[in-house]
Amino acid sequence: MHQSPETTVSATPGAHGGHPPEGRDSPLRHLAVILDGNRRWARARGVEAVRGYERGGDRALDLLAWAGTLPGLEVVTLWPLSTENLTRDPRELEPLLRVITDTVERIEAEGRWRIRIIGRPERLPSPLHRRLRGAEERCRAAGHARTVNLAIAYGGRDELARAVARMIVDQPSAGTAGISDYLDTAGQPDPDLVIRTGGEQRLSGFMPWQTAYAEFWFCPLPWPDFTRRAFDRAVAHYRTRTRTHGR
């Protein structure tokens, strides 16, 4: 695991400008980002938490624009809301849910990404759940090549429990299907690189099965302050890695 203060990271993009060439051993097909630090960003500025959420929503669209320049990238996963977040004070939770839903619809409106909602979005108020599923369905019909997973009311233990329950119901008809076929990310490559902002150095239950061989990049910047420079450095560091997957 690598801690990466933006001002001290030594990994830099390649000499040819832009992003360095894709490493032979480390193709980046799936990028996952834990969007942490929105409330701390707001507190540090003496503003309401919703201002941090709104700035974080803007940054999510920036991140997708940056990721869209990476050759070979197929999937981006963004985690804006955990199952534990649902226990927050309703006065804070309601504006957060609104910002998340608005941001998903902004992603849809840009027309570049296929949206896939993972987690337990049905635990949100029904009007917001319908809006999220509507955006997902419209993007599916549009047939965009790249996918953005929005992990909403997501918890890794909850995902595994749901996957195992479905697998048991399907047996023995499941045949040789493994647990990966029952996860929310079924059919997708596992994350290659996980970025967490906000200074915390833990996964907090994020995709415990899928991230077994992922590379991690912990950034001290709160999510609303995450920059293109920090993004480029995370990707550049990833491309220096030789991944053996235990072999």
Active site residues: 36, 85
Long-range contacts, 162-166 (Cβ 8 Å, 24+): none
Which of 65, 7, 67 lies closest to 32 in space, CA to CA?
67
SS3 category, 247 = coil
Cβ(20)–Cβ(236) under 8 Å?
yes
Non-local (6+) Cβ contacts of 154 within 8 A are 79, 81, 82, 83, 118, 119, 120, 184, 206
Nearest 10 degrees: CA dihedral of 227, 228, 233, 238? 110
SS3 category, 99 = helix
CA distance 82 to 87: 10
Rg (the chain; Cα; Å) = 18
- Please, how many CA atoms are within 13 Å of residue 24, restricted to the half-sphere of its CB? 0
Question: What are the φ and ψ backbone dihedral angles of 8, each rounded to 5 degrees?
Answer: -125, -5
Helix 228-238 / helix 49-67 crossing angle, nearest 10 deg = 50
